[in-house]
């Protein structure tokens, strides 16, 4: 799933949503700013951004700074783990270019995903870095509002924000950022307490994105301060000491496919759905989103009254479209990107739905934003309704199912491709949640990957 907007087309898309840009628009109105929006773009996690895409996106921003400036301040909504064909540190390169354009004194405040790989260059080029505090990221709007307040005070001459960052020899940790329990709870509590100190404007904890093979991948703490550099560095160091001490504290058990199916059988019938989350094929982690491994196990186990969302397979969608609604097809689904990793699954089923795949997120994560699966088909295999889509996407919102006429609350079992974001909307309806490693690309076992660029030695690869 990907979107691109520029200029005046941006505001109508984001106003009134749980998004960073919505917070920036509201801040502009509240503080009386004259805001210029250059570009808004997002895409599902994948490989390196192509040079062509990087040149187009970065030039749109940098050209606007030249053409429409000078500016009193800059607000950016970035992820923080972008890797391009030319830069391992995409956001660092972008921020350095922005800093060169606006000069040393114009404040540049940046909202970041909690899974940012914050680099030294990002901290040096940005005046303030402000990360989500929740995972699932339900505080997207609030995070951007924090950045906007600091920018306002900086433009009013009340403060001169600067940022420091600390890390340890970790490529993973802080319970992958889960904010419901484990070390992230204490780290966020401390960040809020430290943020009340004089001169400390913000303290953010980043779990990092360990599937990016770059030198500075991994957890960090950033402290945005006003002429309190020594104290900021001490806070960041103390916080990272705690992260190091708690690095192996993981609160969510992971099951293999066989264990998950055994648990489903043991639970039996109930009045609420069992949620099966395929961690390893989560497109939000960069996986292909086309693994049929978990689905194959569900079919073999005879799981009844189930829904599966989604398998990204445009070829299978086309075959279903040709068969038409109520048509019966036998076809291979999934496993098209890398059959050696997850081979296709040959199934026979009835086509029960065809659509263009659009939906509106219901929240609480990113509520109000539009999404698209591309051309979509619903294939009923036994009593399992499988969503086949053309675009990769993380299934983190019930709107993915409901837009296709499937109510997940009516199902006995709901399988989806997500690591943790799905909990915000699906946990309240779930009888039990099972996290499954179905041998996809985004495996939580980092020992399966051949890292070439990450600094070494590093935990958990070496230490």
Residue 454 placed within a domain: no
Residue 125 has pLDDT above 60, yes or no: yes
pLDDT of residue 28: 97
The 3-class secondary structure across the chain, one letter per residue, is CEEEEEHHHHHHHHCCCCCHHHHHHHHHHHHCCCCCCCEEEEECCCCCECHHHHHHHHHHHHHHHHHHCCCCCEEEECCCCCCECCCCCHHHHHHHHHHHHHCCCCCEEEEECCCCCCCHHHHHHCCEEEECCCCCCCCHHHHHHHHHHHHHHHHCCCCCEEEEEEECCECCCHHHHCCCCCHHHHHHHHHHHHCCCCCEEEEEEECCCCCCCCCCCCCEEEEEEECCHHHHHHHHHHHHHHHHHCCCCCCCCEEEHHHHHHHHHHHCCCCCCEEEEECCCCHHHCCCCCCCHHHHHHHHCCCCCEEEEEEECHHHHHHHHHHCCCCEEEEEECCCCCCCCCCCEEEEEEEEEEECCEEECCCCCCCCCEEECCCEEEEEECCEEEEEECCCCCCCCCHHHHCCCCCHHHCCEEEECCCCCCHHHHHHHCCEEEEEECCCCCCCCHHHCCCCCCCCCCECCCC
In the numeric block, which tokens belong to residue 80?
């923080």
Lowest mean pLDDT among 7-16, 101-110, 344-353: 7-16
In the numeric block, which tokens belong to residue 145?
């509002």
pLDDT of residue 2: 65
In a shared domain, residues 91 and 196: yes
33 Cβ contact partners less than 8 Å away, ≥ 6 residues apart: 27
In a shared domain, residues 24 and 128: yes
pLDDT of residue 7: 80
Mark which of 219, 245, 271 sits at the end of a domain: 245
In a shared domain, residues 99 and 30: yes
Tens of pLDDT, residues 261-286: 999 999 999 999 999 999 999 999 99
- For the chain, the domain total comes to 2
Residue 357 placed within a domain: yes
Tens of pLDDT, residues 299-349: 999 999 999 999 999 999 999 999 999 999 999 999 999 999 999 999 999
Closest by Cα among 68, 25, 17, 59 to 39: 59
Tens of pLDDT, residues 225-270: 999 999 999 999 999 999 999 999 999 999 999 999 999 999 999 9
In a shared domain, residues 269 and 315: yes
376/397 Cα distance (integer angstroms): 16
22/24 Cα distance (integer angstroms): 5
Closest by Cα among 129, 211, 114, 139 to 165: 129
The domain of 184 spans: 2-245
414/432 Cα distance (integer angstroms): 11
In a shared domain, residues 174 and 92: yes
Mean pLDDT of the residues in the chain: 96
Residue 458 placed within a domain: no
pLDDT of residue 1: 54
Mark which of 199, 224, 245 sits at the end of a domain: 245
Tens of pLDDT, residues 165-215: 999 999 999 999 999 999 999 999 999 999 999 999 999 999 999 999 999
Residue 358 placed within a domain: yes
In a shared domain, residues 129 and 18: yes
In a shared domain, residues 309 and 232: no
In a shared domain, residues 161 and 279: no
Mean pLDDT of 412-441: 97
In the numeric block, which tokens belong to residue 198?
């004089």
275/456 Cα distance (integer angstroms): 37
Confidence class for position 66, pLDDT limits 50, 70, 90: very high
Closest by Cα among 209, 276, 302 to 430: 276
Residue 72 placed within a domain: yes
Mark which of 193, 224, 245 sits at the end of a domain: 245
pLDDT of residue 6: 76
In a shared domain, residues 190 and 314: no
255 Cβ contact partners less than 8 Å away, ≥ 6 residues apart: 263, 434, 435, 436, 437
In a shared domain, residues 330 and 239: no
Residue 370 placed within a domain: yes
Tens of pLDDT, residues 351-369: 999 999 999 999 899 999 9
Which pairing describes strands 328-333 and 345-355: parallel, antiparallel, or unpaired? antiparallel
Residue 71 placed within a domain: yes
pLDDT of residue 142: 98
103/115 Cα distance (integer angstroms): 28
Residue 212 placed within a domain: yes
Neighbours of 233 (CB within 10 A): 15
pLDDT of residue 299: 98
In a shared domain, residues 198 and 147: yes
Residue 5 has pLDDT above 90, yes or no: no
- Bridge partners (DSSP) listed for residue 461: none
Better pLDDT: 322 or 8: 322
In a shared domain, residues 227 and 196: yes
Tens of pLDDT, residues 288-309: 999 999 999 999 999 999 999 9
């Amino acid at each position: 799933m990907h979107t691109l907007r520029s200029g005046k087309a941006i505001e109508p898309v984001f106003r009134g949503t749980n998004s960073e840009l919505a917070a920036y628009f509201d801040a502009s109105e509240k503080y009386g700013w004259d805001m210029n929006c250059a570009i808004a773009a997002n895409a599902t996690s994948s490989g390196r951004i192509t040079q062509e895409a990087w040149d187009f996106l970065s030039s749109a921003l940098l050209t606007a700074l030249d053409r429409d400036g000078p500016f009193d301040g800059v607000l950016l909504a970035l992820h923080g783990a972008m890797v391009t064909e030319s830069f391992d540190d995409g956001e660092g390169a972008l921020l350095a270019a922005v800093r060169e354009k606006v000069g040393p004194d114009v404040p540049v405040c940046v909202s970041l995903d909690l899974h940012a790989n914050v680099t030294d260059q990002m901290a040096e080029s940005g005046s303030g870095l402000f990360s989500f505090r929740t995972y699932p990221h339900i505080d997207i709007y609030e995070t951007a509002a924090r950045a906007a307040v600091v920018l306002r005070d900086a433009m009013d001459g009340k403060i001169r924000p600067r940022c420091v960052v600390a890390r340890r020899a970790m490529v993973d940790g802080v319970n992958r950022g889960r904010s419901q329990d484990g070390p992230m709870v204490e780290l966020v509590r401390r960040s809020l307490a430290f943020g009340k100190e004089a001169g400390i404007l913000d303290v953010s904890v980043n779990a990092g994105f360990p599937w990016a093979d770059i030198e500075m991948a991994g957890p960090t703490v950033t402290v945005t301060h006003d002429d309190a550099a020594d104290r900021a560095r001490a806070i960041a160091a103390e916080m990272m000491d705690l992260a190091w001490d708690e690095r192996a504290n993981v609160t969510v058990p992971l099951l293999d496919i066989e264990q998950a199916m055994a648990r489903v059988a043991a639970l039996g019938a109930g009045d609420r759905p069992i949620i099966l989350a395929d961690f390893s094929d989560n497109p939000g982690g960069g996986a292909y989103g086309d693994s049929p491994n978990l689905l194959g196990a569900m079919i073999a186990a005879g799981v009844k009254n189930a829904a599966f969302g989604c398998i990204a397979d445009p070829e299978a969608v086309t075959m279903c479209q040709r068969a038409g609604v109520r048509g019966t097809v036998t076809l291979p689904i999934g496993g098209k990107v890398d059959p050696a990793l997850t081979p296709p699954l040959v199934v026979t089923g009835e086509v029960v739905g065809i659509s263009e795949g659009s939906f509106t997120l219901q929240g609480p994560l990113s509520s109000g934003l539009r999404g698209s699966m591309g051309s979509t088909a619903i294939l009923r295999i036994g009593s399992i309704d499988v969503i086949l889509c053309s675009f990769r996407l993380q299934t983190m919102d019930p709107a993915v199912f409901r837009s296709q006429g499937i109510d997940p609350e009516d199902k006995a079992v709901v399988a989806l491709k997500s690591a943790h974001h799905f909990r915000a909307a699906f946990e309240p309806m779930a009888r039990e949640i099972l996290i499954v490693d179905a041998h996809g690309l985004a495996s939580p076992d980092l020992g399966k990957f051949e890292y070439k660029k990450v600094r070494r030695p590093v935990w958990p690869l070496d230490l």
